Structure 1
Amino acid sequence: MRFRTAAAAMAASAFVAGSFIVVSPAIAEPEVTRADVEKAFDRAEAANETLNQLTADADALDARIDEVGSEIRSIRKVYKVQRNELGADIVQQQMEQPLGPTVGLLGSQDPDLFIEGLSAIDALNTTRADALESFTRTRVELEKRQAQLDEHQRELDAKLGKAEKTQKKLTAAYREAKSDLARLSAAERTEMNQGGDVTPVSNAGAGAAKKAIAFAMSQLGDPYVYGGTGPNGWDCSGLMMKAYAAAGVSIPRVVGPQIAAGRKVSAGELQPGDLVAYPSMAHIGMYLGGGKVIHAPRPGKSVEITSLSSGFGVYARVS
């Protein structure tokens, strides 16, 4: 009862003194610029490239796990045959010359005990000694491959864990970029979302570069998709990888390794077909000549032709 009375008194006091209370205005959100939006999309694309690399690493580990698993199965078959052959030899010898307690070791499933039993038999001839040595090598190889398999599985689990965290980071960065974009004026949003030039460039490049450019050109207007490697949606590095694959040239999946796989060139040396990337390695495109670049820009836009001056600053030639 005293609490309610005190509360009522406080409320009354506040009401009476209301004219003296100054209410702080709501803190306005900081203004967002086009540059802020572009940076937000850059952060999202950087996370996408990290995720692409983790995915590529996980796929490679998966393939290696399958390969080692197949090797283990083959070695186990040899192991079983060798063990059975050695066992049959000893059974025959036991019939001809009893071995006493030592023969009990030969029934053990423990390879070390089995070999100990064999080693204890002085009557082994040269052929059996060679078979024993071969069996030992097979066992060691089997253990080695099993250890490799276990290590690859641990690496894969770690990659998948990182990929899950990176996927969350990408989602958060993309939501932030969309939110920033929505805070621009309608006119600014329209201007930012306008597509670039989609007029195909003909007869650009030579050899593999010409074929890569032709492939990229055939994707003009296709939407940007995170992790996209075609055929109907692309991210920046996915488009470059598939363009050069169409020309018979294999390049890595991710921006940084794609640039590293080529030969660095200067802006003055650029030729059609050269890869052009942001210094941050968050984005990549292909030079067409005449100061133009074809690329997959960002979500909400499609494969387009833009100016080389649009943030690109690292250049490499795919040989």
Structure 2
Amino acid sequence: MSSPHGRGWRAAARLLAPAGALIIGLLVTAAPAHAEPSAAELRKQITTKSAQLEKIVEQYNKLNSQLKQTRAEVAQLERDLGPLEVRADAAQQNVARIAATAYRTGAFRGWNALLDKSADGELLARLSTLHQLAASQQEQLDEAHRAAGDRFAAKAALDARLQEQATRVKALSTQRKAVEKDLGKLKAMRQAAGLTDEATSTYTGAVPAYAGKAGIAVKFAYKALGKPYIWAADGPEGYDCSGLTLAAWRAAGVSLYHQAATQWREVTHIKRSQLAPGDLVFYSGLGHVALYVGSGKVIHAPTTGEVVKVSSVDMMTPYGYGRVKL
């Protein structure tokens, strides 16, 4: 026989069963699968991805610059090798003639001259002639050795440079594929966030005038406003960050490397209080660089989908400041 208490609990359970199922159902329904990121979250991801990509692009720029330098050195070695080949061939021909003459004449019949019973004066004259011939032959033999050695050294250097070039071409190709893959991801993220590429334009506003080469660099940067960001580019259709600073100072007759980190090593480091138009401002662990144009402003090539623009010097926390060496 069941107790009244037992019967009460069972009745309560029957009454609560539908409500419990409803509560469980509500909990299951309320648990979200995977919420899509908000526009703000997407923009944050894009900013992070852009900074990562820019560092990869800058690494590519460095490798590409090294490859260009190696190719220039290969071309110079090839130019140097031509005259060395001619010189070595001529020296070899001289040696061949000497050998042929020695064979025909019995080495100039030196011993016969010594055994000749001619007058002493004639003997001395012949000895002198033999000495001159021997000295001339030795000089030509020495030149042949030098020419052959120079040609061999130049050829070895050329082969080493060609091997280095092939290695860098392969590394560059691998790096380029990685950049293109990351660019595809970044563009997809921008589309998901509803971001469209900024329209290119031509700057028609006032350009501040500054003296000297720094003034030329600043003027160039203003004329580049509105040009698209193009990775690994240094103009004229578009620029990446270090490509823009390189091109601006190139217009002023000053050479810079196409990589922000290397440009940091090329400049004289200065304090913020010393900033003057034409100086470079570095950001993002030397992954980004901009040109200071005065009044707390910089001109820079930001990232994929954007154009060259004017921004505050504090658009990001600066890494450091540098003055281009003239």
TM range (shorter): 0.7 to 0.9
CA, structure 1 residues 43+199, in 2 after alignment: closer, same or farther (shift >3 Å)?
A: farther
Q: Indicate yes or no: 2:213 matched with 1:212.
A: no
The CA deviation string for residues 191-249 of structure 1, in whole angstroms up to 9 with x for no partner, is x96999x6856335431111100011111111111122211211111111111111121
Report the Cα offset of residue 26 of structure 1.
4.3
What amino acid is aligned across from residue 280 of structure 2 in structure 1? L
Task: Show the 5 A alignment for 1:79-94.
Answer: 79-94=88-103
Q: Name which of 81, 104, 115 aligns with 1:95.
A: 104
Report the Cα offset of residue 285 of structure 1.
0.9
Q: Indicate yes or no: 2:274 matched with 1:269.
A: yes
CA contact (8 A) 2:65 2:257 kept: no
Question: Which residue in the other structure is 1:36 paired with?
Answer: 45
CA contact (8 A) 1:211 1:247 kept: yes
CA contact (8 A) 2:51 2:284 kept: no
Q: Indicate yes or no: 2:115 matched with 1:78.
A: no
Question: Which residue in the other structure is 2:249 paired with?
Answer: 244
Taking the aligned partners of 2:254 and 2:78, their CA distance within structure 1 comes to: 30
What amino acid is aligned across from residue 250 of structure 2 in structure 1? A
Taking the aligned partners of 1:313 and 1:295, their CA distance within structure 2 comes to: 15
Taking the aligned partners of 1:224 and 1:73, their CA distance within structure 2 comes to: 43
CA contact (8 A) 1:220 1:302 kept: yes
CA contact (8 A) 2:200 2:227 kept: no
Taking the aligned partners of 2:293 and 2:205, their CA distance within structure 1 comes to: 10
What amino acid is aligned across from residue 257 of structure 1 in structure 2? T
The CA deviation string for residues 30-77 of structure 1, in whole angstroms up to 9 with x for no partner, is 663423211101122212111111111111111111111222221111
Question: Which residue in the other structure is 1:300 paired with?
Answer: 305
Q: Name which of 59, 62, 75 aligns with 2:68.
A: 59
Q: Indicate yes or no: 2:286 matched with 1:281.
A: yes
Who wins on radius of gyration, i.e. which is larger?
A: 2
CA contact (8 A) 1:236 1:285 kept: yes
Q: CA RMSD in A?
A: 2.9
Point out where structure 2 has 5 or more consecutive residues left out of the alignment.
1-24, 109-131
CA contact (8 A) 1:204 1:289 kept: no
**Could you state the TM-score of these two structures normalised by the residue count of structure 1?**
0.77
What amino acid is aligned across from residue 299 of structure 2 in structure 1? I
Question: Which residue in the other structure is 2:123 paired with?
Answer: none
Report the Cα offset of residue 182 of structure 1.
2.9
Taking the aligned partners of 2:199 and 2:154, their CA distance within structure 1 comes to: 55
Question: Which residue in the other structure is 1:318 paired with?
Answer: 324
What amino acid is aligned across from residue 310 of structure 1 in structure 2? M
Question: Which residue in the other structure is 1:171 paired with?
Answer: 180
What amino acid is aligned across from residue 245 of structure 1 in structure 2? R
2:286 alignment partner, SS class: coil
**Could you state the TM-score of these two structures normalised by the residue count of structure 2?**
0.76
The CA deviation string for residues 81-101 of structure 1, in whole angstroms up to 9 with x for no partner, is 1111111122112111179xx
**Which one is further off, 89-98 or 147-156?**
89-98
What amino acid is aligned across from residue 321 of structure 2 in structure 1? Y
Q: Indicate yes or no: 2:239 matched with 1:259.
A: no
The CA deviation string for residues 245-300 of structure 1, in whole angstroms up to 9 with x for no partner, is 11121122211111211101122221111011114222111011121110111121
The CA deviation string for residues 115-163 of structure 1, in whole angstroms up to 9 with x for no partner, is xxxxxxxx97111112111111111111111111111111111111111
CA contact (8 A) 1:285 1:294 kept: yes
CA contact (8 A) 2:200 2:228 kept: no
Point out where structure 1 has 5 or more consecutive residues left out of the alignment.
1-19, 100-122
Taking the aligned partners of 1:77 and 1:154, their CA distance within structure 2 comes to: 25
CA contact (8 A) 1:223 1:300 kept: yes
Task: Show the 5 A alignment for 1:18-167.
Answer: 26-28=33-35, 32-97=41-106, 125-167=134-176
1:313 alignment partner, SS class: strand
Taking the aligned partners of 2:32 and 2:72, their CA distance within structure 1 comes to: 60
CA contact (8 A) 2:199 2:307 kept: no
CA contact (8 A) 2:285 2:319 kept: no
Taking the aligned partners of 1:157 and 1:240, their CA distance within structure 2 comes to: 29
Report the Cα offset of residue 181 of structure 1.
2.5
